[in-house]
Amino acid sequence: MSSTKFILGLFDDPDVMMHGIDQLQKNSVPIYDVYTPMPIHGIDDKLGIKPSRLGYAAFMFGCLGGTTIFSLVYYFMVHDWPMDIGGKPAFAVPSFIPATFEWTVLFTAFGMTATFFFSTHLFPGRTPRVMDLRATDDRFVIAIDAKGNIPHEEITNLLKEAGAVEVKHNDRKYVSYE
């Protein structure tokens, strides 16, 4: 039994890597994940990853922020301590718009980014789960779970034929752990 946990195909070109994904999928090799130094459009479609729903979260947070501050301002200016400013109405909606707008933006930005960090498990001090250290530099890495994908040699050849500059058989899932 081989001790290989993950097979990594390292590519130096995003288009060649895309070709590699096609080749693997043609041969029914399931792909664990792909790590790239920059956003490559189209991988998510190939891997069947659904579009992000962060936009909905952002919208919800925006609504929350706008409602919160508008309610607060209403309470301050109309309910709790209405001021007589030359007999003008206390419920002066145009004056409330700037604060409402700013908090809508504020809640959207913070809420959406927090949701992004939460769902992607990003937080200060999280141990990086990196499979190959050059994946953040100049290598486009296709990771294949070695367990269950027994013919390792075939996968290696497949990756090489597809144009991988290097194929790694890693015994550890993450090389970044001390």
* List of residues contacting other proteins (CB under 8 A): 12-15, 18, 33-44, 47, 49, 51-52, 54-55, 58, 62, 72-73, 76-77, 80-81, 83, 85, 92, 95-96, 98-99, 101-103, 105-106, 108-110, 112-113, 116-117, 119-131, 133-138, 176
Cα–Cα distance, 66 to 70 (Å, whole number): 6
Select from 156, 147, 154, 172 the least CA-distant residue to 1: 147
Residue holding tokens 């130096």? 12
Answer for the pair 152, 169: CB distance below 8 angstroms, yes or no.
yes
CB of 124 to other proteins, least distance (A): 5
CB 65 within 8 A of CB 106: yes
**137 CB-near residues (< 8 Å, 6+ apart):** 37
Nearer to other proteins, 126 or 151 (CB): 126
Given the complex with other proteins, which of 131 and 158 has the nearer CB atom?
131
34 vs 159, beta carbon nearer other proteins: 34
CB of 166 to other proteins, least distance (A): 14
